[in-house]
Amino acid sequence: MPTIPTARTPDPRAAPALRWGVLGTGWIAEKFAIALQRNTTQQVYAVGSRSRVGAQAFAARVGAPTAYGSYEALVSDPRVDVVYVATPHNYHHAHGLLAIAAGKPVLIEKPIAVSAQQAGELAAAATAAGVLCMEAFWTLFLPKYDVLGQLVGDLGVDTVLADMGECFPPEHRIFDARLAGGPLFDMGTYPLSLALWALGDPASISAYGAPTDQGGYGEINGALSIAMQATGGGLASLYTSIVAATPTTATLAGPGHTIVIDGPFYQPGGFTVTTPDGARVRYDEEPVAHEGGLHFQAAAVARHVAAGELGSAIRPMSDAVRLLRVMDEVRRQVGIALPL
């Protein structure tokens, strides 16, 4: 019977306290600010919005002392130690470059850009400027994923099944083609990144898309089904949807062993390991969602920035670029156009 390893994740409260500048004032920005305040000693010091009123309202909601009515003003504040970019996917590239040009380390929401070329440009600009640039792929920074990583290494995994399906109201930006809507960038990041993390580099993929007429700002897909074979031979079967609610579970299987991660698999929560003789071992933790999980990546950034390091071995820029190479290929096969 396998024993469940212990998470080696450092205490997020012990990370050096930095002054964060939050760029964008939407849904995830607020969850991020709350997660930092509840679970770390990081300071949500400033916020930047396209509008002064929006910045002031957000700052009041999260208790940030400084509010700027432009992103340029935020990144120019010498007291901002690190910038967190929380704008729609197709603005990550421009807003990441804005922070880097101001000499700020930057944590950019997932996916870090909308093409591998853009992600490569962010990586190159950050390297040239000597600042950290990291994709906010919070899942891999969770203690649960440190435990899973140890199990994947010990048990050997050659099969990944994962889905992420959620229904959104028609007015949500996810249906807006002008903001790179559809399931690929928002939700597809999770099953695709899980498959790449567990199986390694892709050798081939096949993608199928189902269009939806919800939205109204141009054609987008409602659901995607993606099959992937890794160079090591492993296979993944992945699904993502914005028009169907699916269990959002994941299965990692290897010779005789199976790990079934409770849904939503990308958040804190439990999983079950089943051994070849049918024995089951459980890992359990409180399924606390974003406000109880987004801070682990921020604490990692704070440790790296304080140590003068330009990236994280948990989510190196090369992995963010690799994900977008796969997404480029999915877009090519399915015919998903990027906004102009």
Ligand X SMILES: NC(=O)c1ccc[n+]([C@@H]2O[C@H](COP(=O)([O-])OP(=O)(O)OC[C@H]3O[C@@H](n4cnc5c(N)ncnc54)[C@H](OP(=O)(O)O)[C@@H]3O)[C@@H](O)[C@H]2O)c1
Distance separating alpha carbons of residues 75 and 205, to the nearest angstrom: 39
Q: How far is the CB of 93 from ligand X (least distance, A)?
A: 11
Q: How far is the CB of 188 from ligand X (least distance, A)?
A: 10
| CA quadruple 253, 162, 190, 137: dihedral, nearest 10 | -30
Residue (89 or 295) nearer to ligand X, CB: 89
Residue (179 or 336) nearer to ligand X, CB: 179
By Cβ distance, which residue is nearest to ligand X? Answer: 26
Q: How far is the CB of 274 from ligand X (least distance, A)?
A: 28
Matching residue, tokens 């850009």 = 113
Judged by the rule CB under 6 A, the positions of this chain that interact with ligand X are: 24-29, 49-50, 54, 86-89, 91, 109-110, 136, 138, 173, 179, 186, 290
Query: Cα 226 to the chain's mean position, in Å?
Result: 19
Which amino acid would we find at residue 44?
Answer: V
Q: What are phi and psi of 326, to 5 degrees?
A: -65, -40
| Angle ∠(131,109,21) on CA atoms, nearest 5 | 60
**Exposed (0-12), middle (13-18) or buried (19+): which is 227, by Cβ within 10 Å?**
middle
Nearest CA among 225, 224, 141, 240 for reference residue 187: 240
Paired tokens of 217: 């700002």
Q: How far is the CB of 258 from ligand X (least distance, A)?
A: 26
Q: How far is the CB of 174 from ligand X (least distance, A)?
A: 8
Residue (110 or 331) nearer to ligand X, CB: 110
Residue (181 or 311) nearer to ligand X, CB: 181
Please say whether the beta carbons of 112 and 92 come within 8 A: yes
Residue (25 or 221) nearer to ligand X, CB: 25
249 three-class SS:
coil
Q: How far is the CB of 92 from ligand X (least distance, A)?
A: 6
Paired tokens of 206: 């096949």
Residue (74 or 273) nearer to ligand X, CB: 74
Residue (89 or 257) nearer to ligand X, CB: 89
Nearest CA among 2, 73, 57, 63 for reference residue 25: 57
Q: How far is the CB of 79 from ligand X (least distance, A)?
A: 20
